Chain A
Amino acid sequence: MGKINNKGIDRRGFLKVLGSGAIVSTATFYGCNPKNQTSGGGTNVEYVPTDKMTYRINHNTGDKVSLLGYGCMRLPTKPKADGEGELIDQKEVNKSVDYAIAHGVNYFDTSPVYVQGMSEHATGIALSHHSREKFYIATKMSNFDPATRSKEASIAMYHNSLKNLQVNYIDYYLLHALGIDGKQAYQERFIDNGVLDFLLKEKEAGRIRNLGWSFHGERSFFDYMLSQDIKWDFVQIQLNYVDWEHASEQNVNAKYLYNELTKRNIQAVIMEPLLGGRLSKLNEHLMVQLKQKQPEISTASWAFRFAGSLPNVLTVLSGMTYMEHLQDNIRTFSPLQSVTDADKKLLEEIAQMILKYPNIPCTGCNYCMPCPYGLDIPEIFAHYNRCINEGNIPKDLQDENYRQARRAFLIGYDRSVPKLRQANHCISCGQCSIHCPQQIKIPQEMERIDKFVEQLKQETIF
């Protein structure tokens, strides 16, 4: 209608400009995703996916369990106001748990004895912010102390767990750390006092959905447990690329444990995938080998991929004290990239090199603590292992770096462990070694470290 105005723009022209402008802008801004995802392949390390978590299905109940399990044994702590001891940093725990659930993690593993008895309570508080069907809780019957071995005391521990966790039923209940004291302890803790029967009844009643046990001990005991006429829903085993075929003396190769479970169609829950953190703190030249293969993934992720790639694994537990650990693990499992045969070969080589170092296989679990005579056992071992990894254990006085190594060892020792808690105060009473899940002969190791320190101080190494 009306006259054609040659100076202005007409409808068709306007639509052309609009359309081409839109196309050009889209093309230009395509690369500038606010989430910083580069379009050229390979994810940016800052990105943590929320919806790509790998899940495994529980054969028996159909649970969809995240392959990454949240371990509550190493929750973050802060010192108490009066300076004597520690408290759990509840704010941090809440933040981490919220983050984990938001990114697809739904398995939480705790126990009445973790973090000096405070773990269940803290986990319960953190999880109470989420609806019950969003998570699976796993806890344990940790009746190690003889005072808790009576039927009443054990049942009280069970009810206490329900109360602390603020739940009416437990998804995964474990008989804690079977095998440490052999068959006799198992008899006392579960059979003679009727606790196992009680737990089986709870399962029938629906208050325990899956019953299993965690294992630290000898092969014969493991075989015995599997030979019993009880239907175990799952078993928690220590598995990582070192323990696969090179478990330390008193432990059992993870390959054997895994295969036995697979034969019987029992799913495995994995603990110590990082061997107490040691597989994320590899010696420089070992770490470099992993990085050369895949520079953009973390050292820890290799260990997780190894554990998670096994098909009969239900979940892999990780004690993620720090947010950065949680984020890296979520990235690793979202989704999990299985290890190739070449990867497995490389990990096996690395495992063999790790074994060449005389590290003490301490995983820092703190089960041995508190030492009644004040020693800081995990810290002594950690310092010694650190020095091994950094080459600060001089072999003899002729070593080139003898003076530096000696200085680094002795001064570092005093910095990490107060003098009154050092290895020379160990009286070999043996109260600690009973609890060690890695079956470390703690008094002997203490003596060995002490002798070494004496040699350094007296400058008589040879």
Chain B
Amino acid sequence: MLRKIRITAATICFTLITLLFLDFTGTLHHWFGWLAKIQFLPTLLALNVGIVTALFVLTLVFGRIYCSVICPLGIFQDIISWVAGKWKKNRFAYSPAIYWLRYGVLALFIIAFIGGLGSLVALLEPYSAYGRIASNLFAAVYQWGNNVLAYFAERMDSYAFYSVDVWIKSAVTFSIAIATFMVFAILAWRNGRTYCNTICPVGTVLGFISKYSFFRPTIDIEKCNGCGLCSRNCKASCIDSKAHKIDYSRCITCMDCIGTCRRDAIKYVPRQKTQKTEQATEQHIPNLSNETGASRRDFLSVTALFTFSTVLKAQNKKVDGGLAFIKDKKVPNRATPITPAGSQSIRNLAQHCTACQLCISACPNQVLRPSNNLMTLMQPEMSYERGYCRPECTRCSNVCPTGAIRPITKADKSAIQIGHAVWIKKNCVVNTDGVNCGNCARHCPSGAIQMVPIDADILDSPKIPVINTERCIGCGACENLCPARPFSAIYVEGHERHRIV
């Protein structure tokens, strides 16, 4: 019975969390976005004392139920393990705890965390590992399915489904996601929750507390016949059936043992011994004193002389019809990466982000993508060749569970400067094609771009954009809508620290 309850709760949580990564319409986040925010490391990073305490209390009372119900990576491993179990039943065996590995990895994790090595943190953390898998692999399948439905909807004159672009946002992250998937699939297939009890830092931390949990599966020595079934079905390999002992720092409260025991010899009951229960009150507040990354800024100089041609291109058209070929836009070489409004500064993002990919999968305009920089691997950065950061959208700030991107309103966003636009003379179509443009100025939401004549004396001369960097918020509308291809004639340089303009 308990096992069934656990499975039901776990299925619901898992489905909803997975959907948070898959649902590109953003509707699910209104109702169930909190599921991402109660994940252990994210809530720790967000300094959400209430939830952290609640999780500690939960573990103290019920054991590591978090690992069986709330952690999506845990449930993912459970699913694979269950499938494997259909082939070979009773395949687990007790193994003693490998303390050096658990504590070693935890120490490494904490060092990396403090040292600002975001990439290592991201690789080890369970929720981000799952997020990576969901947003790179599952999302693609989900989106293709959606596109099939959209195909039929279009033919039925229905607007219920619309097509979305399926694209690899970063080859590096995609490969890492595949590798992560393979590693966990193999580990789970072979031996259940190996990762959870040897490497996972969250598991180790919760393990400290669950050792003293109030409710715990307890073997009734009277009823036990020593058959060892419980031990052979324990995913966490923590039941020593001979000694009738269960290692509670590794027990993930999945109730499989209770479900499998034929003699009703294991029960989930309050602890018998009267030991003082220790309340873990100290929280792990990271020390944010370190600088990460020196700031380098390339100085852009535009020196080319330009000639202006006055030939009317229009008259050269020879025939009617056809569509012009459009080259893909290339990502410009930014000296400073751009981080979304709400992230406050590159440093804040790097120190709080666990690279779970939730914001990246929620971005509706194809702006956010994982970084390929080694220090900030897989953390979000922005680029505007496929879309721009639209003024009415605040999705990334709404979904971020760690506080790396703090929640902002539309009004806030219109005043937060995340970068500024830079004009590149030699790419501008005014020079290369000899036509009048002004598309950047036309679409700037803050009115930061004005068109001025190239030659101040000749008012009729073609107009070029000038940017008021005190008003530009770095949204990228100009970069995205600039007709110059493949390199935009106006692009956004990121700012290390955001400010209000």
Listed in ascending order, the chain A residues whose CB lies under 8 Å from chain B are 84-86, 112-117, 144-148, 365-367, 369-374, 376, 404, 407-408, 411-412, 414-415, 420-421, 424-432, 434-435, 447, 457-459
Contacts and interface: CB of A to CB of B under 8 A. Distances in A.
Contacts of B320: 113-116, 365-367, 369, 435
Instruction: Place the interface of chain B in its size category.
Output: 20 to 34
Nearest to A420: B326
Given A426-B439, A430-B436, 20 more contacts: A84-B325, A116-B320, A116-B321, A117-B319, A145-B316, A146-B315, A365-B320, A369-B320, A369-B321, A372-B313, A372-B433, A373-B324, A373-B483, A374-B323, A411-B159, A412-B159, A428-B438, A429-B435, A431-B313, A431-B435
Contacts of A424: 439, 443, 481
A372 B438 contact: no
B344 to A, nearest CB: 25
A427 B435 contact: yes
B322 A369 contact: yes
B429 interface: yes
Contacts of B439: 424-428
23 contacts: A84-B325, A85-B323, A115-B321, A365-B320, A366-B320, A370-B324, A371-B324, A372-B324, A408-B159, A412-B159, A425-B439, A425-B483, A427-B435, A427-B438, A429-B313, A429-B435, A429-B436, A430-B435, A431-B313, A431-B314, A431-B435, A457-B390, A458-B390
A303 B402 CA distance: 65
Contacts of B322: 85-86, 116, 369-370
Residue of B159, B323, B429, B437 most packed against chain A (CB within 10 A):
B323
A113 to B, nearest CB: 5
Interface string B181-216: 000000000000000000000000000000000000
A175 to B, nearest CB: 17
Contact of B318 (A113, A371, A427, A432): A113
A390 to B, nearest CB: 10
B159 A145 contact: no
Nearest to A458: B392
Given A366-B320, A407-B159, A429-B436, A145 B315 contact: yes
A73 to B, nearest CB: 8
B163 interface: yes
A117 to B, nearest CB: 4
Interface string B324-336: 1110000000000
A114 B322 CA distance: 11
B181 to A, nearest CB: 31
Contacts of B220: none
Contacts of A426: 439
A278 to B, nearest CB: 19
Nearest to A73: B320
Nearest to B437: A427
B154 interface: yes
Contacts of B426: none
B484 to A, nearest CB: 10
Contacts of B435: 427, 429-431
A434 B314 contact: yes
Contacts of A404: 159
A370 B323 contact: yes
Contacts of B481: 424-425
B144 interface: no
A425 B326 CA distance: 11
A285 to B, nearest CB: 19
Contacts of B390: 457-458
B317 interface: yes
Contacts of B438: 427-428
Contacts of B162: 411, 414-415
B323 A457 contact: no
Residue of A115, A373, A429 most packed against chain B (CB within 10 A):
A429
Contacts of B429: 427, 429
B263 interface: no
Contacts of B433: 372, 429
Contacts of B391: 458
Interface string B277-308: 00000000000000000000000000000000
Contacts of B314: 430-432, 434-435
Contact of A113 (B159, B319, B326): B319
Interchain residue pairs A-B with the least CB separation, the first 9? A431-B314, A429-B435, A117-B319, A366-B321, A374-B326, A427-B437, A370-B324, A458-B392, A427-B439
B490 to A, nearest CB: 12
Contact of B437 (A84, A114, A428): A428
A421 B318 CA distance: 21
A405 to B, nearest CB: 10
A43 to B, nearest CB: 32
A427 B322 CA distance: 19
A461 to B, nearest CB: 12
Contacts of A376: 323
Residue of A431, A432, A457 most packed against chain B (CB within 10 A):
A431
Interface in B59-92: none
A414 B154 CA distance: 11
A146 B436 contact: no
